[in-house]
């Protein structure tokens, strides 16, 4: 039987904020922004991570528990095993998109930024984090040609407050026709409320505990008949 795992190795590893790492691998995937991979750590576990890019495969991983802590120690040349791309990604429907990122949610939005910029769209990113140390991929997003506006919960970088407050100000200016968001569930609920208030369509990438990543085990059942891995992780609002 052919293995579902792709084997590659780390080509580049650099710090992402104070608790994260961005890994570029020697692999390419024909993937949509918003799709994810299951990264396997032999003798430990397998965990889902969004593609921060597909060519080369790039992942930004923030330390949250045992696996993500161990992944911080990967170095150039280390082997990596993954399955994917999995799930459904973002549409590229927007003419004047606003991207709203919270914490590690910046990863799939970096890939989306690249694709939207290649399609000639002006991209604005509201990039939020708890503190300046937790901000991810600001330089990468700016380097891709996005207008990046930062907010932190404690005011240590950018504007002081929640990223949804920043997004509300941007939507009030009427400059955006579509919202894409990825981040913690309360932030996504806030974005959904804003899209409703301003009458702007949106798509959000949701997280859930996953085991198989392919719709078999049911771990990521949302309770409404939809599985985050199979039917998402990107859902229209």
Binding site for ligand FAD (CB under 6 A): 36, 45, 47-50, 60-62, 64-68, 104, 107, 207-210, 233
* C-beta neighbour count of 214 within 10 angstroms: 16
What whole-number distance in Å separates Cα of residue 215 and Cα of residue 194? 30
Nearer of residues 112 and 171 to ligand FAD, judged by Cβ: 112
Nearer of residues 176 and 230 to ligand FAD, judged by Cβ: 230
| Least gap, CB of 223 to ligand FAD (angstroms) | 15
Nearer of residues 102 and 170 to ligand FAD, judged by Cβ: 102
Residue whose Cβ sits closest to ligand FAD: 65
Nearer of residues 68 and 170 to ligand FAD, judged by Cβ: 68
Nearer of residues 47 and 178 to ligand FAD, judged by Cβ: 47
| Least gap, CB of 146 to ligand FAD (angstroms) | 18
What whole-number distance in Å separates Cα of residue 212 and Cα of residue 84? 11
Structure tokens at 81: 């095993």
B/e letters for 139-167, b = 16+ CB within 10 Å, e = fewer, are ebbeebebebbbbbeeeebbbebbbbebb
| Least gap, CB of 183 to ligand FAD (angstroms) | 11
| Least gap, CB of 34 to ligand FAD (angstroms) | 9
- Name the β-bridge partners of 98: 124, 179
Nearer of residues 149 and 234 to ligand FAD, judged by Cβ: 234
Of the chain, the end-to-end C-alpha distance in Å amounts to 40
φ, ψ for residue 77, nearest 5 deg: 100, -15
Task: Please calculate the CA angle 24-30-34 and round it to the nearest 5 degrees.
Answer: 75
Nearer of residues 200 and 233 to ligand FAD, judged by Cβ: 233
| Least gap, CB of 160 to ligand FAD (angstroms) | 25
| Least gap, CB of 233 to ligand FAD (angstroms) | 4
Cα distances from 117 to residues 93, 99, 129, 151, 227, in angstroms, run 13, 12, 24, 23, 30
| Least gap, CB of 120 to ligand FAD (angstroms) | 26
Helix (H, G, I), strand (E, B) or coil at 219: coil
Question: Which secondary structure element, helix H or strand E, spans residue 190, and what is its range?
Answer: helix 185-198
């Amino acid at each position: 039987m052919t293995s579902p795992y792709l084997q590659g190795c780390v080509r580049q590893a650099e710090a992402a904020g104070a608790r994260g790492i961005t890994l570029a691998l020697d692999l390419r995937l024909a993937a949509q922004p918003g799709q994810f991979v299951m990264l396997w750590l032999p003798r430990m576990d397998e965990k889902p991570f969004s593609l921060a890019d597909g060519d080369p495969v790039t992942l930004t991983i923030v330390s949250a528990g045992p696996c993500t802590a161990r992944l911080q120690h990967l170095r150039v040349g280390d082997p990596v095993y993954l399955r994917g791309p999995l799930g459904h990604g973002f549409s590229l429907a927007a003419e004047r998109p606003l991207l709203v990122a919270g914490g590690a949610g910046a990863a799939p939005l970096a890939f989306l930024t690249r694709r939207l910029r290649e399609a000639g769209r002006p991209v604005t990113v509201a990039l939020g984090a708890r503190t300046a140390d937790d901000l991810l991929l600001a330089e990468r997003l700016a380097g891709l040609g996005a207008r990046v506006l930062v907010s932190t919960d404690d005011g240590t970088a950018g504007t002081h407050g929640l990223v949804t407050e920043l997004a509300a100000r941007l939507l009030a200016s009427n400059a955006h026709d579509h919202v894409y968001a990825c981040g913690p569930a309360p932030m996504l609920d806030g974005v959904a409320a804003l899209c409703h208030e301003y009458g702007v369509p949106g798509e959000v990438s949701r997280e859930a505990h996953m085991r198989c990543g392919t719709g078999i085990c049911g771990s990521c059942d949302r309770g409404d008949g939809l599985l985050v891995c199979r039917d998402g992780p990107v859902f229209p609002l």
